Structure 1
Amino acid sequence: MSAQSASPSRLRSEVPVGSPRWATRRAQWRALGLTDEDLTKPKIAIVNSSSGLAPCFSHLDPIAAAVKRSVEAAGGVAFEIRTVAPTDFIMSAGASGGYVLSSRDLLANDIEAVVEGAQLDGMVCLASCDKTTPGQLMAAARLDVPALILSCGYQSCGTLDTGERVDIEEVFLRAGGLKFGGITFDGLCDLSARAITGPGVCTGMGTANSMHVVAEALGMTLPGSAPVRANSEPMWRAVEASGAAIVGAVLAGRRPRSILTPAAFANAVMAVLAVSGSINCVKHLQAIAREADSEVDVYRLFEKYADTIRPLSAVRPNGEDTIEEFEDAGGALAVLKQLGDALAGEAVTVTGETTGDRVARAVVKDERIIRPLSDPRAGHPTVVVVRGSLAPDTAIVKLSVTEDRPPTFEGTARVFDDALSAIAAIEGGVVRPGDVLVLRGVGPVGTPGMGMASQTVFALNGAGLTEQVAVVTDGQLSGLVNKGIVVGEVSPEGVLPGPLGVVADGDRISIDLRARRADLLVDDAELARRHANRARHQVPGGRSGWLPVYARSVEPLPRGATLRGNDLPTTRP
C-alpha cells in the first residue's frame, strides 16, 4: 500500500495509519529495508539464544537466518531477537549455580520485553539448552501470542581408543571419582577432550532432550521434530517448514493457551514418565502451567500417572540405548503412539491438527527401543514425587530404568548447608555408610537461584558410597545422571519455615519409595522447640543485582519457581 492509504487492522502489530506511532515505526522499519506492504504482514520474532559460550548455542545463527527466509517465503516479516543463553555446565561456576535456573525466568522476561513491547504477532523459538525451552514456553503461555518451538538438536559425541562411546554425561559422572582413584587426571582429560564433537545440546535424556520431547507432547512443535541431530537434514526440514507453520498460526489466531490445555499437560507428563525424563521437567511444566493461568497441578499429575505409565525407553544415562537410536525409532511421536488409549488425542497443536491426528500418522520403527505400554522397560515409575514429614509439600526422586535400588532407606542425618562442605566431608571420610546426607540452603531462595547438588551426588559415587548413603536436598539435580537414593528439590526449602531447616545431625530419616514418602523421625514436641528457637531467615545477597531480586520474588517449587508477578492482574490487547 502507499504511505497515504489505509487498511483495516487485522494484526496486533498494526497501528492506526497516519498516527505518530505508525509514522515512527514506519521510519524505523523502512531504514531496515521494509516496504509499506511489509508493514501489513504478520511480524514474527525469531527468538535466538545464540552464544559463543557453549556448543549448545553455537550453531543457532545460521538457523535463525534460515527461519527468517522461511517466514518471508510464507508471507511474513521476521525480526531476530536475542535472549540470555543459560548453560548449566558453564554458568553454574558463579554464585553457587544460582544463575542457571533463575536465567530461565530472565529469558522469559527478555522475550516479553521485546514481543510485547513491539506488539509482534508471533514467534519461532530456537530451543536448545536446558532452560531455553521452558523459558520460551513460559513466555508463550504468559503472552498468549502464537508460538512455535523449534528443536535445534543434540550434539554428536566421540569414542575412546577402546571404541567405548563417551559423552558429556560420562565426563560429569567420572569426574567425581578423581579424588578417590576412580580415574586418573590424564584419563579425565581424555574423556573431556573427546566427549563433544559437534554443536547442540547434551546427548542423553537429560533436561534439554526431555524438554524437547515435552514441547512436542504439548503440541507446540512441528510433528516429529524431537529429538533431532543438530544440523541434520530432518532439523533443516523443520526449519524450512517453520515459517508457514507460524504464519498460519497467526492468521488462524491459534494461541498457546488454546493448546496448553489440561489434556496437553497430561500428555506431557505421560511422555516424561515414558522416556524416563529429567526431574527438572516437573517444575518446568508447573511453571508453564502457572504462566498460562492454568489450574493444572503438574506434581499431582506425576503422582497420578506414576501408577500406570512405565518407562518405554531407556536412553542413556537411564539405560544403554543412545539418543540416536531413540530418534531413529521414531522419537517423541512414537512414544506418544505407544501410550495408546492413555493419550489425550483430542489435544490440539500449533498446526491446527490434533495430537491424535499426528499420532495416527506416526510409525514406531523399532519396538526394542520404544516399547508399547503393555511391555515397558521397567515395572516402576522413574520420576517419583514423594511427600512426608520431611517434605510436606513435595520432593522428587529419579530412579533409573535398569539400576536395582532398595525401595527403602533409613539412616542418620549428616547435615550440610553448602555443597563444598558436603563434598569435603565425603572426601575426608566423615560421611559413612548408613548416613543420610542432608544438603540444604541451596534452593531457589537459599542460594539464591537454586544451587546444583549433583556434584555432591557424584562425589558419593566416586567414594563408592552410592548405595550406602542416601541424599536429601533442596537443591537442583542434573537431568543427566543421578545415582543412589536422592530425594531432591525438597519443599519447603531449607531456608524457609519447614522441617528441612531444622534437621540436626543425628536425626533419623526414613525414605520409603514404595509409599512415596520421606519422613523425619523426630517427635513433634522437639520439632516445635526447634522451630521456636530458629532465627528468622534473611534473603541472601545484597540489594542490587539480579539474584537478590529473584530471591525476593520467586515462588516455591510446587508452583514452578516462577516469579510472583504472575499473581498481579494483567491486561492484554
Structure 2
Amino acid sequence: MTASPLPKIKTAEELRSRRWFGPADLRSFGHRSRAMQMGYSPEEWTGKPVIAILNTWSDLQPCHAHFKTRVDDVKRGILMAGGFPVELPALSVSESYVKPTTMLYRNMLAMETEELLRSHPVDGAVLMGGCDKTTPGLLLGATSMNIPAIFLPAGPMLRGNWQGKHLGSGSDSWKYWDELRAGKITDQDWLAVEGGIARSYGTCMTMGTASTMTAIAEAAGMVLPGGSSMLAADAGHIRLASESGRRIVDMVWEDLTPQKIQSRAAFENAIAVAMAMGCSTNAIIHLIAMARRAGQDIGLDDFERYSRKVPVIGNVRPSGNAYLMEDFYYAGGIKALMNNIREHLDLTCLTVSGRTLGENIEGAKVHNDDVIRPTSNPIYGEGSLAVLKGNLAPDGCVIKPAAMDQRFLKHSGPAVVFDDYPSMKKAVDDESYPFTPDTVMVLRNAGPQGGPGMPEWGMLPMPKKLLKEGHRDMMRLSDARMSGTSYGACVLHVSPESWIGGPLALLKTGDMVEVDVASRSINMQVSDNELAERRAALQAPEPRYERGYGWMFTKHIQQASDGCDFDFLKTDFGRPVDEPVIY
C-alpha cells in the first residue's frame, strides 16, 4: 500500500501527543528531557505521530514467540511512514499456560490496553496479538479508547506431523488422547504426537478460537486485507508487520478511528464470516462483547439469524475433516472466503486499509475449492453455530453442529450431573460408572463466576468405558466454554450459569434432557412444580474470591449471553477522562 487512500484531515498541532511534548511549560520540559534521556532527539518526535505498539510477547507465550523480533518490523514500517514508534508491553494471556483460564484475564488485558493508550503520549496504536483472548482483549480496549488502531495477527503455525499424517493442534490432541485411553495407540506413539503437533511459532493451525477471532477482526475492518490468514512463519508476515506500521501513521493523519470502522454492519459481516469459516464457539462471547463496546447492540439472535442462511464453506478442522490453516492460506485465505459469501456481506463497510471491504476482496480467487468451498457445495448446510433456548437455558446456549456426530442433532437421554471437574474426571475413568451412549453428561458450576472465569471444560472427556465400546461422541452439557479446536456434541455457555442460580443448578441425575438442534430447543423434562420445590431448597455457594482482581471479576462479570464483559466497562456506563493530568 503505497499511498494513503483517505485524505489527511489532522495537522501536527492537533496530534494528541503534542499535549505532552508541545507546550513551553515545565511539565512538557520534563517529558522532552526524559525522551532525550533515552537517546531520542526532538527531531524524532516533533510534528510526527507517536505510535504505540502494544506487544503481547512473553517467554511463556509460544503463539507470540516471533513477536520479540517482529516488533522491529512494525517499528521499521512506522519510521518509513514518518512516525515515531514506542513499544508498550501488554499482558500476554497465554492460552497454553495461564490458569485457571485465560478468560479470567481477557478483560484485564482490555482494561490495560485502554489505559496504556490513554495514559501515554500516543496518537495511534498497532495491536500485536492472536492467541485466543489477546485479539478481543486488545480490540475491546482500543475500541473504548478510540484512537486510530490497527490489529496485527500473530498468524497460525505450520501443520503438525506424525508418521506422515498432518496434525492439528487441539483437535488431534483430543483425538489421540482418546485413542490412547482406548488402547489403540501406545505411550511411545503419544510422545511422538506430543513432539510433532506444534512445529513453529504461531497460533493453533486449526480453525480454533485464535484463527476465528483474527478472521472476525479482519471482517470487522480492523486488519489489513488478507492479514488474518497469513502464516506466522511465512516471510509475508514480516511484510504484513511493516505494512501495518506504515499504514497506522496514515490512519492517524486521516483520524480513522475504530468507531468510524466498527459499525453494526461491520459486526454482521464478522458474524457471517465466522459462520462460513466453521468458527469456534467462543466467537459468540467475544464478538458480542466487542460489538457492544463499539456501541452496537449485537446479540445471540443475530448469530441465530446468520446461522440459518450462511453455510460452512471453510473445510478446516475441526468442522472440516482434512485441512488446516496452512491449506486455507494457500487456497486463497480469508479474502477468497469472503468473496465466496459476498452476497451475505455489506461490502460498503470501511476498513483500516482506508478502503471498503468490497474493494479489499475484489478479484480474490479460490485456488482449491475443496478447502474453500462454493456456497453451492458447503461442508455443512447451515452456519457453524446454533443457539438453543429452553427451560435449561432461558438466555441461550450454543452448540457446533458441523463438528459433531449428526445423530445427536435430536437427542433425548438421562442426565448424569457433576458439580465439579475433579469428580467428573474421576467418573469418566471408572469403567464401572453407569454411562450409556444415550447419557447426557452434565458439568455445572463452570460458568463466568462458577469456574471461575468460564474455563474451557465444555468438551467433557468421553468415558473410558464408551471409548472401549467404540463410541467417540456423546451428548455433553455445561455452562463452561470449550476450546475452538474441540469438537463433539457439546452444549456450552448455558445462561444464566448454575453458580448464580440458573436452571442448570436445578437439574438432577436421572432427569431426562431433550436437545433438538433443528428447532433450536433444549429442555429438561421436569415439571414446573418440581422445579419450584428444587429452587426453594437451593443454597447459594460461597464466593470464589474475597480480594483482588478475582473479587472484582466476580462482582462485575456479565453472563455469557452478554459477552462476559465487566458491567462498568459498558459503552453507556460513563465517559472516561482523556486528558493528561496537569500538576
Residue of structure 2 equivalent to 1:518: 522
Unaligned ranges ≥5, structure 1: 1-6
The residue number in structure 2 matching 1:13 is: 17
Q: Structure 1: how far apart are the matches of 2:472 and 2:518?
A: 17
**CA apart distance, 1:448:** 1.2
The corresponding residue for 1:82 is 89
Q: 1:240 aligns with which of 220, 239, 242?
A: 242
Q: What is the rounded CA distance, in whole Å, between the counterparts of 1:357 and 1:502 in structure 2?
A: 52
Q: State the shift of 1:123 in Å.
A: 0.8
Matched, 1:424 2:430: no
Structure 1 residues 459, 277: CA separation in 2 closer, same or farther (over 3 Å shift)?
Answer: farther
The more displaced of 59-68 and 36-45 is 36-45
**Are the structure 2 counterparts of residues 438 and 296 from structure 1 closer, same or farther at C-alpha, using a change threshold of 3 Å?**
same
Identify the match of residue 59 of structure 1 among 39, 63, 66.
66
Indicate the residue corresponding to 2:451 in structure 1. Answer: 447
Deviation at residue 261 of structure 1 after TM alignment: 0.7
Can you list the C-alpha shifts for 1:404-462, whole angstroms capped at 9, x where unaligned?
33321111111101122112111113233321111010111002111221462355785
Q: Cα distance, 1:59 vs. partner?
A: 1.0
- Aligned in 2, Cα 1:530/1:399: closer, same or farther, shift over 3 Å? same
Deviations 1:88-124 (A, max 9, x none): 2322xx4xx33x1022111112212211111421111
Which of 551, 554, 558 aligns to 2:557? It is: 554
Question: 1:332 and 1:517, CA in 2 relative to 1: closer, same or farther beyond 3 A?
Answer: same
Q: What is the CA–CA distance in structure 2 between the aligned matches of 1:134 and 1:462, rounded to whole Å?
A: 36
Instruction: Report the alpha carbon displacement of residue 138 of structure 1 after superposing the two structures with TM.
Output: 0.8
Aligned to 2:39: 33
1:24 equivalent to 2:30? Answer yes
Contact kept in structure 2, 1:494 and 1:501, CA below 8 Å: yes
Superposition deviation, residue 174 in structure 1: 1.9
Partner of 1:471 in structure 2?
476
User: Partner amino acid for 1:285?
Assistant: L
Compared CA separation, residues 555 and 322, structure 1 to 2 (3 A)? same
Q: TM-score, normalised by structure 1?
A: 0.93
1:499 matched residue in structure 2: 503
Change beyond 3 A, Cα 1:303–1:455? closer
- CA deviation after TM superposition for structure 1 residue 368, in Å: 2.7
Corresponding residue for residue 198 of structure 1? 200
Structure 1 residue aligned with 2:51: 44
Counterpart Cα distance in 2 of 1:472 and 1:412: 12
Give the equivalent residue in structure 1 for 2:387: 385
- Larger deviation: 464-473 or 185-194? 464-473
TM-superposed CA distance for 1:474, in Å, is 0.5
- Separation in 2 of the partners of 1:116 and 1:499? 41
Partner of 1:457: helix, strand, or coil? coil
> 2: distance between equivalents of 1:463 and 1:445?
35
Structure 2, gaps ≥5 residues long? 1-10, 579-583
Q: Give the alignment partner of residue 373 of structure 1, picking from 372, 375, 378.
A: 375
Contact 1:229 1:235 in 2 (8 A): yes
Tell me the percent identity. Answer: 30
Q: CA deviation at 1:281?
A: 0.8
1:279-298 equivalences in 2 (<5 Å): 279-297=281-299
2:544 is aligned with what amino acid? Answer: P
Match of 1:168 in 2: 169
Question: In structure 2, what residue type is equivalent to 1:87?
Answer: S
Give the secondary-structure state (helix, strand or coil) at the position aligned to 2:42: coil
Q: Which residue identity does 2:543 align to in structure 1?
A: V
Counterparts of 2:467 and 2:124 in 1: how far apart (Å)? Answer: 48
- Whether the aligned pair in 1 keeps the contact of 2:160 and 2:196 (CA below 8 Å) is yes
Q: Is the 8 A contact 1:454 1:482 kept in 2?
A: no
**Residues 176 and 458 of structure 1 are in contact (CA less than 8 Å); yes or no, is this contact kept in structure 2?**
yes
Cα distance in 2 for residues equivalent to 1:463 and 1:501: 31
Contact kept in structure 2, 1:340 and 1:373, CA below 8 Å? no
Q: Is the 8 A contact 1:311 1:401 kept in 2?
A: no
Query: Can you list the C-alpha shifts for 1:527-565, whole angstroms capped at 9, x where unaligned?
Result: 111111211243213x22432321222111111101111
Note the C-alpha offset of 1:180. Answer: 3.3
Give yes or no for contact 2:130–2:210 (8 Å, CA) kept in 1: yes
Where has structure 1 moved over 3 Å in runs of 4 or more? Answer: 176-180, 401-406, 457-469
Could you tell me which residue of structure 2 aligns to residue 250 of structure 1? 252
On the 8 A contact 1:390/1:499 being kept in 2, the answer is yes
SS of aligned partner of 1:405: helix
Q: In structure 2, what is the Cα distance between the partners aligned to 1:451 and 1:196?
A: 22
Instruction: Tell me the TM-score normalised to structure 2 length.
Output: 0.92
1:238 corresponds to which letter in structure 2? L
Write the deviation string for residues 260-304 of structure 1: whole angstroms up to 9, x where unpaired. Answer: 11111111001011010111111110111122222222x211100
The one of 397, 400, 405 equivalent to 1:398 is 400
Aligned pair 1:311/2:318, yes or no? no
Distance 1:206 1:458, change over 3 A: farther
Residues matched between the structures, number: 558
Kindly tell me: are residues 455 and 178 of structure 1, through their superposed partners in 2, closer, same or farther at Cα, counting changes over 3 Å? farther
Q: Distance in 1 between matches of 2:216 and 2:497?
A: 26
1:126-137 aligned within 5 A: 126-137=128-139
CA spacing shift, 1:146–1:67, aligned 2, 3 Å: same
Quote the residue 1:4 is aligned against.
Answer: none
Stretch moving more, 191-200 or 456-465: 456-465
Structure 1 pair 452/46, CA: closer, same or farther in 2 (3 Å)?
Answer: same
2:64–2:129 CA contact under 8 A, matched in 1: no
Whole-Å separation in 2 of the counterparts to 1:465 and 1:264: 45
Distance 1:102 1:512 in 2: 31
Kept in 1: contact 2:50–2:122 (CA 8 A): yes
| C-alpha distance in 2 between matches for 1:554 and 1:164 | 42
For 1:121 and 1:231, how far apart are their aligned partners in 2? 30
